[in-house]
Copies of this chain bind each other. A is one copy, B any other.
């Protein structure tokens, strides 16, 4: 028999059966505390974060390693060189040229004073330099987070009417986001972020970007008022109810700037060496439009400018935090939702960049860094910051070597805050709108969506559902759609595990799925089923019914084909990772109901956890040691030679006889 380039000859010679030692040993008992300890360790510390620390000899070296673990900057600082400094300065300045216009734009998107956007690129970036373990991440505010702030906090305090109260709410929400992120990291619950699937994130981000783009019509058309709702219908209603206020001048200027930004982005994408063209484009467009507006007296033509920006570094805001206001719960909710979304984006960016450069990023440590930078930020007039993809990609393309590029960026922003803010007084709002719209177009990841549609239609539905929910209803509804679909998917996959019938590949002892391999043949009188999931409360009752249906189907088939009647059911337990008390009960019930049908049950290849639980629940004794096998092949051969023929189908009591 030739199978995939190898000739496999298998000879199975039965040895005289008798009182044999168990084929699959029952492992020695293990204390409950040790089991729980091991499983908690695997759950919370799958990456063994103390590995590097524990490797060092005890004493000073280990203390240093622990310090290096707590402050990742100590890992790269000792080996820091002039060459690295030069690279970090170049990338830091490049990112800063992007950070200043983006910071101002996103702060306006969040309904905050533009200068808060600049503050947010200063303190958090310094914190991340010390605590961050990614070399490529560039810290800054994110558009989706800003949109969520505006849409969630807006109803409690209108940014235009109560700017101070709104800012206090935003700082409080930032604090909660940071506290939540740090708590997740410290409790090592980072895996919760994994439950937001890639598909849901693509759809959610795309939906948010679309909504953000549309809401930029305010700037493009020079509208004085605008809705705070995020749905497409509300935005369109707001735009078309003010047709009398539309201005063509900002629209033309905006379109020109947008075109300029798109062209430079295209150049940067096509020629990675010209990354600085796209990175500097927003700043260039701000400067050009500011000069133009200043020269032509833009306000006379309906082009609104952003007005004066305060000079000076971050003022403290720790006393502005609201911990006992009626809106505290709203701020906490906003913080938790935006915190988890920014984590999902930030850790995905950090991990994918780390993989490309072959270094390791500890997700939980990243969360602590994010949490620290947001908590520090909330006390120094910053709002939510994370590691947005676009900015980090510029950072990487500019050749950054360590997290120090964030410090360089922070210093450049500091210089802007101290000396350059008056220059932005005449910057037209439409320039910021163009920058936002252009950045958001890059967030709509059509290629990822197309890939999903090709590879996995279910994922594509999740993505599309989330997208449509965000665009046509609201950001919250989109999020609820996504979470509901994901939870439902997990529950379904848990409640309906796969069971498959196996057959022997001719000439081997290999048993494979008969629906996959045409050559696999069933063993006469034996039905081999494989269960591909842990057996526990969520699926035990389904599995019991499904196995009964397999047997019914097989008996129907045998009756129709006139073959040898069924004598034994072999369960391949090789992929059953665990079993609980409902699971052992299921096996017990199965054994009893097969007894009633005069069928023998055999278990092949149960794992040690399974053997332990079956033994303790005395189901092993019920099934009998001699019906536990190492391989399916052995089980089938043993069953064929040891199950009496003729005790099968024909002697099954019909339901009517039992009444």
A residues neighboring B (CB under 8 Å): 2-15, 17-18, 20, 23, 27, 32, 35-36, 42-43, 46-48, 76, 79, 84, 135, 191, 194-200, 351, 355, 357-360, 363, 401-402, 451-452, 454-459, 486, 490-498, 505, 509-510, 512-513, 515-516, 532-534, 536-542, 545-546, 548-549, 574-578, 580-582, 584-585, 589, 592-593, 596, 605, 607-608, 613, 616-617, 629-631, 633-634, 637-638, 653, 655-656, 658-659
Q: Cα distance A358–B574 when bound, in Å?
A: 29
Chain B residues lying within 8 Å of A497, measured Cβ to Cβ, are 577
Chain B residues lying within 8 Å of A4, measured Cβ to Cβ, are 20, 23, 629-630, 634
In the bound complex, do residue A617 and residue B491 qualify as a contact, i.e. CB atoms below 8 Å apart? no
Known contacts A197-B582, A490-B490: does B32 contact A457 (CB below 8 Å)? yes
Chain B residues lying within 8 Å of A35, measured Cβ to Cβ, are 457
Q: Cα distance A70–B304 when bound, in Å?
A: 71
14 contacts between A and B (CB under 8 A): A4-B20, A5-B15, A7-B12, A47-B545, A194-B538, A194-B540, A198-B582, A358-B596, A451-B617, A452-B581, A455-B613, A459-B581, A509-B510, A574-B575
Identical copies of this chain, number: 2
Known contacts A43-B492, A537-B199, A608-B516: does B23 contact A13 (CB below 8 Å)? no
Known contacts A17-B5, A195-B537, A630-B4: does B47 contact A512 (CB below 8 Å)? no
Q: Cα distance A596–B359 when bound, in Å?
A: 11
Q: Cα distance A495–B490 when bound, in Å?
A: 10
Q: Cα distance A546–B637 when bound, in Å?
A: 37
Query: Which of chain B's residues has its CB closest to A497's CB?
Result: B577
Q: Cα distance A532–B496 when bound, in Å?
A: 16
Chain B residues lying within 8 Å of A536, measured Cβ to Cβ, are 197, 493
Chain B residues lying within 8 Å of A574, measured Cβ to Cβ, are 574-575
Chain B residues lying within 8 Å of A539, measured Cβ to Cβ, are 194
The residue that A199 contacts in the complex, of B200, B363, B581, B637, with Cβ under 8 A, is B581
Chain B residues lying within 8 Å of A589, measured Cβ to Cβ, are 355
Chain B residues lying within 8 Å of A513, measured Cβ to Cβ, are 607-608
In the bound complex, do residue A593 and residue B486 qualify as a contact, i.e. CB atoms below 8 Å apart? no
In the bound complex, do residue A12 and residue B20 qualify as a contact, i.e. CB atoms below 8 Å apart? no
CB distance from A324 to the nearest CB of B (A): 26
Q: Given contacts A3-B630, A5-B638, A199-B582, could you give 19 more A-B pairs where the C-beta distance is less than 8 Å?
A: A5-B15, A6-B12, A6-B15, A6-B637, A46-B546, A191-B496, A194-B538, A194-B542, A197-B538, A198-B581, A355-B592, A355-B593, A359-B658, A454-B616, A456-B613, A458-B580, A490-B491, A493-B534, A513-B607
Query: Which of chain B's residues has its CB closest to A448's CB?
Result: B581
Query: Which of chain B's residues has its CB closest to A582's CB?
Result: B198
Q: Which 5 A-B pairs have the closest CB atoms?
A: A575-B575, A197-B537, A4-B23, A532-B577, A498-B577
Chain B residues lying within 8 Å of A79, measured Cβ to Cβ, are 656, 659
Q: Cα distance A653–B356 when bound, in Å?
A: 13
Known contacts A545-B46, A617-B455: does B15 contact A655 (CB below 8 Å)? no
Q: Cα distance A351–B545 when bound, in Å?
A: 11
Known contacts A457-B32, A578-B493, A617-B454: does B43 contact A20 (CB below 8 Å)? no
In the bound complex, do residue B455 and residue A496 qualify as a contact, i.e. CB atoms below 8 Å apart? no
In the bound complex, do residue B14 and residue A6 qualify as a contact, i.e. CB atoms below 8 Å apart? yes
Chain B residues lying within 8 Å of A592, measured Cβ to Cβ, are 355
Q: Cα distance A54–B534 when bound, in Å?
A: 33
Query: Which of chain B's residues has its CB closest to A655's CB?
Result: B359
In the bound complex, do residue B358 and residue A655 qualify as a contact, i.e. CB atoms below 8 Å apart? yes
The residue that A575 contacts in the complex, of B12, B455, B486, B532, with Cβ under 8 A, is B532
CB distance from A362 to the nearest CB of B (A): 9
Q: Cα distance A32–B458 when bound, in Å?
A: 9
Query: Which of chain B's residues has its CB closest to A494's CB?
Result: B490
CB distance from A112 to the nearest CB of B (A): 33
Q: Cα distance A580–B194 when bound, in Å?
A: 14
In the bound complex, do residue B195 and residue A491 qualify as a contact, i.e. CB atoms below 8 Å apart? yes
In the bound complex, do residue B575 and residue A512 qualify as a contact, i.e. CB atoms below 8 Å apart? no
Chain B residues lying within 8 Å of A580, measured Cβ to Cβ, are 197, 199, 456, 458-459
CB distance from A137 to the nearest CB of B (A): 15
CB distance from A646 to the nearest CB of B (A): 20
Chain B residues lying within 8 Å of A47, measured Cβ to Cβ, are 545, 549
Chain B residues lying within 8 Å of A191, measured Cβ to Cβ, are 495-496, 541-542
Q: Cα distance A18–B20 when bound, in Å?
A: 45
The residue that A631 contacts in the complex, of B84, B486, B510, B575, with Cβ under 8 A, is B510
Chain B residues lying within 8 Å of A9, measured Cβ to Cβ, are 10-13
Q: Cα distance A179–B55 when bound, in Å?
A: 62
In the bound complex, do residue B27 and residue A3 qualify as a contact, i.e. CB atoms below 8 Å apart? no
Q: Cα distance A8–B23 when bound, in Å?
A: 14
Q: Cα distance A512–B24 when bound, in Å?
A: 11
Q: Cα distance A14–B12 when bound, in Å?
A: 20
Q: Cα distance A397–B5 when bound, in Å?
A: 64
Query: Which of chain B's residues has its CB closest to A199's CB?
Result: B581
The residue that A5 contacts in the complex, of B11, B23, B452, B459, with Cβ under 8 A, is B23
Q: Cα distance A355–B9 when bound, in Å?
A: 44
In the bound complex, do residue A634 and residue B15 qualify as a contact, i.e. CB atoms below 8 Å apart? no
In the bound complex, do residue B8 and residue A12 qualify as a contact, i.e. CB atoms below 8 Å apart? yes
In the bound complex, do residue A46 and residue B658 qualify as a contact, i.e. CB atoms below 8 Å apart? no
CB distance from A569 to the nearest CB of B (A): 16
Q: Cα distance A72–B457 when bound, in Å?
A: 40
> Quick one: which of A196, A532, A658 has the most chain B CB within 10 A?
A532
In the bound complex, do residue B197 and residue A659 qualify as a contact, i.e. CB atoms below 8 Å apart? no
Q: Cα distance A14–B2 when bound, in Å?
A: 10
In the bound complex, do residue A496 and residue B20 qualify as a contact, i.e. CB atoms below 8 Å apart? no
Chain B residues lying within 8 Å of A549, measured Cβ to Cβ, are 46-48
Query: Which of chain B's residues has its CB closest to A48's CB?
Result: B549
CB distance from A18 to the nearest CB of B (A): 8
Q: Cα distance A617–B498 when bound, in Å?
A: 23
Q: Cα distance A559–B357 when bound, in Å?
A: 24
Q: Cα distance A455–B609 when bound, in Å?
A: 11
